Chains A and B, each alone.
Chain A
Amino acid sequence: MSEHEQRTPVQLSTVSSDDPRLQPAARRPELVERVIALTFLAGIVLIAGFGACYWINAAPWTLGATFGGGLFFLGVGLIAWGKYLMPRGPFVEERHTLANSPEDRNAFAAAIVERGGGVIKRRKLLGGLLGTGMGIFGVVAAFPLVRSLGPLPKGTLFHTDWAKGTYLVDITGRRVHQDDLAIGSIVTVYPEGMQDTDNGQAVDQTVLIRLSNLDFTTQKGRETWGPQGYVAYSKLCTHLGCPVGLYEQQLQLLVCPCHQSMFDVTNGAIPNFGPAPRPLPQLPLQLDAAGYLQSQADFNQPVGPGFWERA
């Protein structure tokens, strides 16, 4: 019979000690043993090397290379030992049916249905009351788990900190003057005093762009919102709330970097591509006597992504 014969599997408990299935799979086990020894040696050297590299605080890649290489070689050697030098088999084991005998199954079912169920049937009132109690417990146990976690939303999502007369400031807190931006410029602005706060960053963030009047289509009812070519839109994308910081000044698009919604800056930030459903809310602007930019009022709608209560 050739070396590559398919051997019949045999039970491990019945195999005799001179059975070929207990022999190593390798044709030349001594040679294989020497190769595996070399592999182990390489592993040992590398693992010890890891210790040395760590001791001298060497670069991170040396730590990983020695540690990883050492483990790798040790593992390869161990696998080779198991595959080529240990009993090659194959061995067989019988499966036992998991299912028990019909008598056992009936007894099990009887215990639950007749003995247990019978108890409940006899004391229906008690069973019902206990069930109701457990049910109510299940419901009220969820209360502290859920409600204590945070406040009710109420009207929080409907308002920002922009109000009448709030100055626009940049990230350093400096007020933005009408002469600051050239046509084609963009800056991220916040309500004065809010630029370092969570709410200022996450909710109030607004982009201020200066456009040429030639390009701009004034939306109805917003004729006074854009003095000196300035236009301000909420920076929160109406898709999923990413900051829409990507401004293409020739295409006049605000592109959201997350999922590439594109808003037309010259036409009320109406989205013309991508998954965003609503235009970016526009912040009404005004100039104070010295030429600094202020907001006239809060946004006229909730900023950011959609939610159930948003009309």
Chain B
Amino acid sequence: MADVAVNTKRAQRAAAGPYGKLGQSLNELDDRLGIAKGGRTFLDKIFPDHWSFMLGEIALYSFVVLLATGIFLTLYYIPSQDLTTYTGSYLPLYGQKVTEAFASTVNLSFAVRAGLLMRQMHHWSCDIFVGAIVLHMGRVFFTGAFRKPRETNWVIGTTLLILAIVNGFLGYSLPDDLVSGTGIRIAYSIILSIPVVGSYVAFFLFGGNFPGTSIIPRFFILHVLIIPLVILGLVGAHMALLVRQKHTQFPGKGKTENNVVGTPMYPVFMAKTTGFMLVVSGAIALLGAFAQINPIWQFGPYTASRISYAVQPDWYMGFLDGALRIFPAWSFHSFGFTIPLEVTIPAVIFPGILFNLIMAWPAIERKLTGDNEFHNLLDRPSNRPKRTAAGVAVAVMCAMLFIASSTDVIANFFHISLNTVLWAMRVLCVVTPVLAYPLTYKICREMQGFAGAGKRKTTNIVTRTVEGEYVATPAPAYVDDLAHEHEPEALPVPTYVVDEEAVAASDTGGVRRVAR
């Protein structure tokens, strides 16, 4: 068919089909990969977009920033404890013998263009990463999103929290400065305190007695390779489960246990989430620009006989530091053996119990409530007072432990004796959770009993009866709300108004007359 028209633009356009060149490329992809059906399903996925669902995204995008800035840092950091003489531009260190790790981090901060910004962004995004995970976990806990079928995701999430905390500790210990080196010394002693195997585990991990020369290189490979790989894998599983099981949603108009209401993945959700990623990265960069964090050049290199006062770990380790400070000096010491309970209990046993409790919570709640049903609709926290109160009590205890980590700063700031502050924290850490539980429980009950508590104001229909009584009933919020079992019932119309026969039978026409 030697048709001249074959090579015209119109003919080419016609041959490409109704979706043009792009459509043709997609068809080619589908030929090879079979992506059309799954791709369409994916693009049509509906995401509920309550604002509290954004908290997990803060964590996800700060992790992305961690990866990106971290790759930059690995190009300059030297993970070695070999000694070198610092000859860089920061004069107070000039000529001092420092480790290669420390020297390379100082050089990264002063001599590499944008190096300080990358370091600070990396450190700020770690603080934000762990904070967002905790907030996100709080949202999941208090709204009951961990229930069947999402227990696995809860376990994955708790594991991610633990890995994030550990990786953060490893990361800020890499520069081998005075402050973080003290933290490594404390970690060594905590490992030592483990009964029976403590000295063996400590010697194996550190390659000998403290400090040794192996710990920084080992921390490095754990921090940049092993743990991030595990975190990436778990985050992937976390997201995959979320896509497969679909997101939970709050009850509302048109929302049932069997559907998802929200915005489609493409283009709306993608636009919003990509925008949010840019905002998170931008906020971290702004923090990295204006708020100095971990100025290791001011701390100087770590040598084991130096120490600074007012040394706390990064915030997410604070609960351990606080527990160590307030725990009394109870050491078990008999039969030729010592169990340093003043270390083992606050630093080994307590976090073990805490994280196991958190991880096992879906199973615990299933046992306690006997509820084995699927739940795709979320609870309002006030509708589950026992769970909310338990969560608040644990959160308050952890908050007290964080505060206990800064006893000396508090004593200095408020001009109170250090001894007084410590005793106060000992009491508070035990008393406040015990008080918080019943208080939260009561508040939740009150909010439940409050018709309309926590809800938007709705319009009322006011009717005037024939006797002149005005009755207000809330207008139905949603015309076709299928989840009304979670709504408080509409106020009943008073029966005496409905009793028209009694009205007709009375001689005053139902109007109450007062004798004067």
Contact = CB atoms under 8 A, between A and B. Distances in A.
Interface residues of B, number: 112
A73 B279 CA distance: 7
Nearest to B329: A277
A199 B209 contact: yes
Contact of A202 (B209, B267, B272, B324): B209
Given A9-B261, A306-B193, 16 more contacts: A12-B44, A54-B114, A60-B114, A60-B117, A60-B289, A75-B274, A75-B281, A79-B276, A93-B46, A93-B260, A95-B258, A95-B376, A151-B203, A242-B185, A243-B305, A305-B189
A93 B268 contact: no
Contact of B281 (A71, A201, A261, A275): A71
Interface of A: 6-9, 12-13, 54, 57, 60-65, 67-83, 86-87, 89-95, 98, 146-147, 149-153, 156-157, 171, 188, 190, 196, 198-199, 201-203, 205, 235, 239-243, 245-246, 257-261, 271, 273-278, 304-311
Nearest to A205: B305
Contacts, number: 302
B271 A65 contact: no
A267 to B, nearest CB: 16
Contacts of A277: 329-331, 340, 342
Interface string B162-202: 00000000000000000000100110111011111111101
A79 B279 contact: yes
B23 interface: no
A270 to B, nearest CB: 11
Nearest to A73: B282
A82 B286 contact: no
Contacts of A276: 329, 342
A78 B286 contact: no
A83 B261 contact: no
A64 B285 contact: yes
Nearest to B246: A95
Interface string B195-230: 111111011111111111110000000000000000
Interface stretch (B307-315, B350-358, B432-440, B443-451): B307-315
A78 B279 CA distance: 10
Contacts of A73: 282
Contact of A57 (B113, B477, B479): B113
Interface string B345-380: 000000000000000000000000000000010000
Nearest to A257: B309
A241 B253 CA distance: 60
Nearest to A62: B289
A79 B189 contact: no
